[in-house]
Amino acid sequence: MVPSPRMKILFALPAFVIALLFLLPSLSSYDFFHRDEANWIITGRTSFRTFFIDHDFDAPYWSAPMNSFGRYNPQIGKYLIGASLWLRGEREGRKDVVRWNPKRSLAWHIREGIAPAPAELAAARIPAVLLGAFAVAALVLMVLTVEGGVAGVIGGYAAAAVFLANPVVRNGARRAMLDIPALAFSLAAILFTEAAFDSFRTRREGRGFALAAAGSLFAGIALSTKLNAGMIVAVVAAANLVLLAARRNRRAAMALTVTYILPPLVFVGHNPYLWHHTIDGIRAMLHFGTAVSQRTTIYPDEALLTWTDRWGTLFRMVFPPPALIVPAAVGLAALLRERKRHVALLLWSTLVPVAVAAWTPLAWGRYYTPAIAAGAFLAGYGIAVTAVVAFPRAENRADLDQS
């Protein structure tokens, strides 16, 4: 028996706390520093101050390239970094982005004031930590959505452990960057969309529509944090299309409609650059995304030029211990058997890794963050399915207790 929403949240809360305890220490450290953090801190502080403090929506800043950290990227992730800096008293700093010298050491950049100060790092990294901990808890909720009882708890925490143990996540969730925040909002979108399906299936269609709208809203927030979350908007839209095909009623049609309304509204509404240059601005952002895929000539040693390279790197990044492929395959097989009940989770866990492999031009770990979450979910679900077979009596007792 799958636990109630309230019980699932209670089961997931300890995972959130454990992740916080794991991620919070040493936030001012340079041990896991990434050079892009310097410019996300600069643009985050400026975006937050210009929008929320100065209310200057016509400032030249909004249309400035800022060495690709400005107008070519959405603003919500930068607002979060800037808000954290502001609340921690780190309100003044560089106005112009910095250029990193690859021939110089990190120590040199620190001495020259190019790298952020430790206090800035500690303040700016808090949103990634909080949302990283939420992503860990969200994976527990996802497994509990498809498998209840003791097995669901075991599988959920296994998914959380697989995710948090991945070096890409372990470092990314402690950096002032956009990948983990975008992922957290993406997972929220999938959870709400999955819950909407459940409500429609049990004929609570008003509730189902509200949950579907929440899923579309969070998909828009994810897209407005990092452009690669566009695949989440596509997954949510596809899931709601399946819902409409299955239910064929007004509420299901409304659920699909809001998928085409809310994400664009959020994407344009949060960004003053797009208020004044909607079409040209979106075109510039898409062109920037295309340009990223052409960086293979700049970084030839990390370029993924063939499909073999891309799929091999995907599996290496998602499953650092290759043995995790086995429970992930079991989880995928079980999810395919339950495809009519868990459309959103199935679409997300299969299409996102394919999209990541198809688009990613370089073997840079952070590009694989969405696929790592999907792989952790499948592995956790596979472990849960195995636990059901291994401990059938415990499962039967857990179902009776919940009843």
pLDDT (tens digit per residue) in 171-194: 999 999 999 999 999 999 999 999
Given a cut of 90, whether residue 154 has pLDDT beyond it is yes
Mean of the per-residue pLDDT values of the chain: 92
State the Cα–Cα distance between residues 128 and 172, nearest whole angstrom.
8
Q: Is the pTM of this model over 0.75?
A: yes
Given a cut of 60, whether residue 332 has pLDDT beyond it is yes
Percent of the chain whose predicted confidence (pLDDT) is above 70: 96
Q: What are phi and psi of 58, to 5 degrees?
A: -110, 10
State the Cα–Cα distance between residues 247 and 209, nearest whole angstrom.
12
Percent of the chain whose predicted confidence (pLDDT) is above 90: 80
Query: What pLDDT is recorded for position 296?
Result: 77
Query: What pLDDT is recorded for position 3?
Result: 73
Element (H, E) at 371: helix 369-390
Q: Which residues, in sequence order, are CB contacts of 29 under 8 Å at separation 6+? A: 118, 121
Query: What pLDDT is recorded for position 196?
Result: 95
DSSP letter for each residue of 30-86: STT--THHHHHHHHHHHHHIIIIIS--TT-GGGG--TTTTSTTS-SHHHHHHHHHHH
Given a cut of 60, whether residue 125 has pLDDT beyond it is yes
Please state the domain extents for the chain: 5-26+127-402, 28-124
Q: Is 66 or 345 the better-scoring residue by pLDDT? A: 345
Is 193 within 8 Å of 344 (Cβ atoms)? yes
State the Cα–Cα distance between residues 354 and 2, nearest whole angstrom.
29
Query: Residue 323 carries which side chain, given as an amino acid letter?
Result: A
**Average confidence (pLDDT) over 258-277:** 96
Neighbours of 57 (CB within 10 A): 13
Query: What pLDDT is recorded for position 399?
Result: 47
Query: What pLDDT is recorded for position 271?
Result: 97
Question: 303 in helix, strand or coil?
Answer: strand
State the Cα–Cα distance between residues 367 and 69, nearest whole angstrom.
16
Query: What pLDDT is recorded for position 149?
Result: 87
Given a cut of 50, whether residue 401 has pLDDT beyond it is no
Is 237 within 8 Å of 92 (Cβ atoms)? no
Structure tokens at 251: 């509420």
400 band by pLDDT with thresholds 50, 70 and 90: very low
pLDDT in tens, 249-259: 889 899 999 99
Neighbours of 26 (CB within 10 A): 12
Q: How many alpha carbons fall within 13 Å on the CB side of residue 152?
A: 24
Given a cut of 50, whether residue 41 has pLDDT beyond it is yes
Given a cut of 70, whether residue 20 has pLDDT beyond it is yes
Query: What pLDDT is recorded for position 402?
Result: 46
138 band by pLDDT with thresholds 50, 70 and 90: very high
Query: What pLDDT is recorded for position 201?
Result: 87
Query: What pLDDT is recorded for position 386?
Result: 94
Given a cut of 60, whether residue 21 has pLDDT beyond it is yes
Query: What pLDDT is recorded for position 310?
Result: 93
Given a cut of 60, whether residue 373 has pLDDT beyond it is yes
Query: What pLDDT is recorded for position 247?
Result: 86
Query: What pLDDT is recorded for position 286?
Result: 87
Query: What pLDDT is recorded for position 25?
Result: 94
Given a cut of 70, whether residue 222 has pLDDT beyond it is yes
